[in-house]
């Protein structure tokens, strides 16, 4: 009798337990823009969950294998990232060069660098972050912009992800 109760309890526990594979983690990316107000150095990092990036390769690189193990797919992903994220300071697009990329089991990370004139580091900053918004309708991209010890956050989602958002110029010295 006790064995039967234990077996029923174990079966009920398994049936009611949330399954990790059934949990939907959502679609999103985190980008961090750091502007050094003294030197004009600009660093941008993008963190994208691998569970978003890899399936998206089917659309981004339709002639390649939808895998981060395929060099052709990774090259297409690099080009895609360049086209879907735009940073402008004082209405001038900032040229960003890919410096490092990490293809991890949980996360794909891109590291870029660029430079602006030091006298422009406090000017208006505009961003477009449409990363994977054309792939996933519920994509939400968070962009943190740090300069002069101040961090501001912009959120891009859905069909509005391709619309530029901007931060006002910094006026006060820290």
DSSP string of 98-130, one letter each residue: EEEEEE-SSEEEEEEEEE--GGGTTS-EEEEE-
pLDDT in tens, 54-111: 999 999 999 999 999 999 999 999 999 999 999 999 999 999 999 999 999 999 999 9
Q: Is residue 16 part of a domain?
A: no
pLDDT in tens, 102-132: 999 999 999 999 999 999 999 999 999 999 9
Q: How many CB atoms lie within 10 A of CB 139?
A: 22
* Residue 163 domain boundaries: 23-167
Task: Please give the tally of structural domains in the chain.
Answer: 1
**Backbone CA torsion sign across 7, 13, 19, 20:** negative
Angle formed at CA 164 by CA 111 and CA 139, multiple of 5 degrees = 65
Any idea what DSSP says for residue 64?
A: S
Looking at the domain assignment, is residue 6 inside a domain?
Answer: no
129 found inside a domain: yes
- pTM exceeding the 0.75 threshold for the entire prediction: yes
Residues contacting residue 41 through CB under 8 Å, at least 6 positions apart: 35, 113, 114, 115
Is 174 inside any structural domain? no
Tell me if 4 is assigned to some domain: no
Task: Please state the φ and ψ torsions of residue 76, each to the nearest 5 degrees.
Answer: -65, -40
Of 120, 110, 111, give the one whose Cα is nearest residue 147. Answer: 120
Q: At what angle do helices 71-84 and 50-60 cross, to 10 degrees?
A: 90
Q: Is residue 116 part of a domain?
A: yes
Checking if the pLDDT of 145 tops 50, the result is yes
| Average pLDDT rounded to a whole number, residues 119-148 | 96
Residue 69 lies in a domain: yes
Return the HEC string of 71-92: HHHHHHHHHHHHHHEEEEECCE
Token pair recorded at residue 111: 């590291």
| Residue 88 domain-assigned (yes or no) | yes
At residue 9, does pLDDT exceed 50?
Answer: no
């Amino acid at each position: 009798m006790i064995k039967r109760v234990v077996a029923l309890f174990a079966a009920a526990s398994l049936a009611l337990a949330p399954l990790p594979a059934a949990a939907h983690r959502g679609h999103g990316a985190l980008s961090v823009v750091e502007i050094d107000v003294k030197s004009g150095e600009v660093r941008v990092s993008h963190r994208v969950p691998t569970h978003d990036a890899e399936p998206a390769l089917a659309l981004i690189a339709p002639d390649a294998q939808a895998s981060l193990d395929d060099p052709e797919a990774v090259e297409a992903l690099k080009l895609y990232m360049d086209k879907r994220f735009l940073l402008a300071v004082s209405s001038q697009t900032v040229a960003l060069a890919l410096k490092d990329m990490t293809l991890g089991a949980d996360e794909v990370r891109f590291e870029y660098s660029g430079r602006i004139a030091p006298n422009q580091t406090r000017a208006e900053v505009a961003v477009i972050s449409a990363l994977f918004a054309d792939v996933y309708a519920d994509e939400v991209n968070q962009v943190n912009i740090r300069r002069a010890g101040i961090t501001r956050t912009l959120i891009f989602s859905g069909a509005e992800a391709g619309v530029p958002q901007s931060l006002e110029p910094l006026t006060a010295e820290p």
